[in-house]
């Protein structure tokens, strides 16, 4: 049997390495295919809704006057709106974030239900640049600075 020349051995190793890299990339893409969540604004969701059951994120403002607690006491319904006045009804079962209030920003992670209501699994409340934690609200700015300094 003839042994492969050194030049051919290197070529075979390069081909094997390329095949392994492509295989690893395809495997990673396949494993992450369900991890990608698309982000929708209410106007986008109304104009072109995602497939029922597809995991997505919905971002916008909680519409004033739309927040209602349902009979079970842990499920809330509300509408997410944007500056274009598009509205998407949302239902969430669980503990609301502390910063979640009407008129505030929210990102809801979940999926569109067959009835056209967005079923949220998780809510992320946004706050503005003037946010002050509840514990610091009744303190003067000097006292707040002292508390913050103590935490470092």
- String of DSSP letters for the chain: -PPPPHHHHHHHHHHHHHHHHHHHHHHHHHHTTTT--EEE-HHHHHHSPPPTT-EEEEEEEEPTT--EE-TTSSEEEEEEE-TT--EEEEEEESPPPTT--TTSEEEEEEEE-TTS-EEEEEEEE---TT---GGGTTS-HHHHHHHHHHT-
pLDDT the model gives residue 78:
94
Q: What is the pTM of this model?
A: 0.62
CATH architecture label of 38-125: Beta Barrel (2.40)
**Residue bearing the bigger pLDDT, 62 or 141:** 62
pLDDT tens across 38-64, in order?
A: 788 898 888 888 888 888 899 999 999
Q: Which residues pair with 122 in a beta bridge?
A: 109
How is the chain split into domains, by residue range? 1-35, 38-125
Higher pLDDT, 111 or 36: 111
Question: How high is the pLDDT of residue 68?
Answer: 93
pLDDT of residue 128 exceeding 60, the answer is: no
Predicted local confidence at residue 1, as pLDDT: 47
């Amino acid at each position: 049997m003839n042994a492969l020349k050194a030049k051919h051995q290197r070529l075979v190793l390069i081909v094997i390495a390329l095949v392994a890299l492509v295989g690893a990339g395809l495997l990673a893409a396949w494993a992450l295919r369900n991890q990608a969540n698309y982000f929708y604004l209410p106007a986008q969701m109304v104009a072109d809704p995602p497939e029922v059951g597809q995991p997505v994120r919905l971002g916008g403002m909680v519409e004033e006057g739309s927040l209602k607690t349902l009979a079970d006491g842990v499920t809330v319904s509300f509408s997410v709106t944007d500056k274009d006045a598009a509205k998407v009804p949302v239902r969430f079962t669980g503990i609301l974030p502390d910063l979640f209030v009407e008129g505030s920003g929210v990102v809801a992670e979940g999926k569109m239900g067959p009835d056209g209501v967005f079923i949220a699994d998780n809510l992320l409340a946004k706050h503005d640049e003037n946010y002050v934690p509840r514990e610091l609200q009744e303190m003067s700015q000097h006292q707040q600075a002292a508390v913050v300094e103590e935490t470092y």
